[in-house]
Structure 1
Amino acid sequence: MKKSRLFVVLLALMLSMAASTQESSQDFKPVYITMTTTHWNDDPETDFSDWLATEQEYFKNVTAKNDLIISSGVYTHYFTPDNSEIVMVNVYENWDDIEKANDLNQKLVEEAWPDDKARQAIFDKQAKYYKPDHRDEIYLSMRYYIPESASNGEPRIFYVRNSQLAMDGQGSPATFNEFYEKVTRKSKKLKGYYTHRHLWGANSRDMAEVFVFDKLGDIEEFFEEEANLVSAAWADEKEREDFMKEMNKNFTGKHADLVYRSVPELMKSNQ
């Protein structure tokens, strides 16, 4: 991947926002997140009964053994505009590791399936589950996060709020940080929380918040809890309205809400 001048400028802007407040970010080191969004094969003749077993075989022999991939996950549609959507996520310590990990993947594949025919067979089997078109994006994590708590092995719900940054100089990241400290971090409903923003993809304004829950109903309870925490943090109504107005200057006001379900058998975590 060639780093253009535009990429360097955008990276500088993102790192500046991520480090906007120093008191609680001294030990924060951003990670690089690749997301491949693909789609289930809609051919009615496709047999999905062995999909999980096939992906587990690849996961066990390749992804789980690749130390350059520090965490990964597979997420399926729950409430999104396209019910065929499936998102595959890998996390790396730095930009160079993305390319190095691809080389290591190839080595691990050859070790797991040394026979050419057997190796081609596993790839052909994988490919049959998905449409050939897909979208690849790279994001940089931001320092606003709550590490995911231990799972009971059941699928979890990932509510994703994709917002567009205004990038007009009117907003202050300090207000978002204040909201995070006074509200988000105090939530008892969240099982995890992550933020990341565009590094390489379709829209340089993209910023995402990922809220992790055990079940779908927890999302509504979280919204109620969040409203109570906001009222407690800014008891004066005028002060509360003024603060929210200032914080919202960071964004265009346009956002999308998406809900995915994790596949526990294909999760790799290194928190």
Structure 2
Amino acid sequence: MKTIEKLLIALALTLWINVNTFAQDQAATDDGPVFVTMTTMHWNPDPETDFSDWLKTEKEYFEKVTSKNDLILDSGLYTHYFTPDNSELMRVNVYRSWDDIEKAQEENNRLLKEAWPDEKARQAFLKKQGSYYSPQHSDEIYVSLPYYMPASKSDKPMIYYMKKSDLSMNPEGNPENFKEYYDKVTSKNSKLKGYYTMRHRWGSNSRDLVEVFVFDKLGDIEDAFAEEGELMAQAWPDEAKREAFDKELGKLFTGKHADYIYRSIPELQKN
């Protein structure tokens, strides 16, 4: 038992070191890091499911519960655009602290009872809301990194391109290179309407580093890639130095990454 306990402590310490090494410049954020929960859900595959009131139902919950919960700093529901599974939806919530994740659920329950005092009516609403989704879901928790450009609230759907990269988690890569790239390239890309970075805190892959790029429309992703190349050439005019920097930056990662594109639902967005 003591051996297992020591292993768990060692694992927790390793993850803590990796998170804090990569996020060493926390002073770059306004109030320090936040915690981000991502729940991947799926539409109910039953062909008899009636989705006609789906948005109305989710808006009612959002207005009576999520929008009134001050422990939830930011929230959004995002639908599949280009991902491996077209049944996917992603629910994202942002919290000030780890403790607030649990406290926010307690507050949700209080607000639910306040909005639907009659228990039968409350259970009927929750049953209806749950009927749109499959019981299958997965949860991930991330901690934010100090490289971000907040997206403004929009009354139209926005494109969210999420890139999950595998960190090499060895001493060869220097996180300062990531910061330099962000300062000289990412933050100057005119096509970006928002940008967020976060690091694995709890979930299936301890190597995860997630970047979220926000765009007005799908075509802007390709334009942003083209502009990225131009910005790199401006930042490192000498080709040899540019290639050397790119090689050093690459040491932070294993070279493996996955891409996902979602679309926001403005009526269900809390900023």
Could you state the TM-score of these two structures normalised by the residue count of structure 2?
Answer: 0.94
RMSD over aligned CA atoms reads: 1.3
User: Does the 8 Å CA contact 2:75/2:270 hold for their aligned counterparts?
Assistant: yes
User: Does the 8 Å CA contact 2:178/2:249 hold for their aligned counterparts?
Assistant: yes
Shift of 1:28: 5.1
Match of 1:113 among 105, 116, 123: 116
Letter matched to residue 123 of structure 1: L
Q: Which residue of 2 aligns with 1:64?
A: 67
CA distance in 1, matches of 2:218, 2:142: 26
CA separation of 1:102 and 1:150: change in aligned 2, threshold 3 A: closer
Q: Which residue of 2 aligns with 1:160?
A: 162
Q: Which residue of 2 aligns with 1:7?
A: 12
Match of 1:148 among 146, 151, 158: 151
CA separation of 1:260 and 1:32: change in aligned 2, threshold 3 A: same
Match of 2:22 among 2, 8, 17: 17
CA separation of 1:49 and 1:87: change in aligned 2, threshold 3 A: same
Contiguous gaps of at least 5 residues in structure 1: none
User: Does the 8 Å CA contact 1:145/1:195 hold for their aligned counterparts?
Assistant: yes
Match of 1:194 among 190, 193, 196: 196
Letter matched to residue 194 of structure 1: Y
Shift of 1:174: 0.6
User: Does the 8 Å CA contact 1:28/1:143 hold for their aligned counterparts?
Assistant: no
Letter matched to residue 126 of structure 1: Q
For each residue in 1:116-140, what CA deviation from the matched residue of structure 2 results, as whole angstroms up to 9, or x when unmatched?
1101101110111110010011000
Q: Which residue of 2 aligns with 1:211?
A: 213
For each residue in 1:197-242, what CA deviation from the matched residue of structure 2 results, as whole angstroms up to 9, or x when unmatched?
1000000000111000010011111011101000111111111111
Q: Which residue of 2 aligns with 1:173?
A: 175
Q: Which residue of 2 aligns with 1:54?
A: 57
Q: Count how many residue pairs are aligned between Structure 1 and Structure 2.
A: 263
Shift of 1:150: 4.4
For each residue in 1:165-191, what CA deviation from the matched residue of structure 2 results, as whole angstroms up to 9, or x when unmatched?
000111010111110000011111100
Q: Which residue of 2 aligns with 1:225?
A: 227
Letter matched to residue 145 of structure 1: Y
CA distance in 2, matches of 1:158, 1:49: 25
CA separation of 1:175 and 1:72: change in aligned 2, threshold 3 A: same
CA distance in 2, matches of 1:26, 1:42: 42
CA distance in 1, matches of 2:267, 2:12: 35
User: Does the 8 Å CA contact 2:29/2:146 hold for their aligned counterparts?
Assistant: no
The percentage of aligned residue pairs carrying the same residue is 60
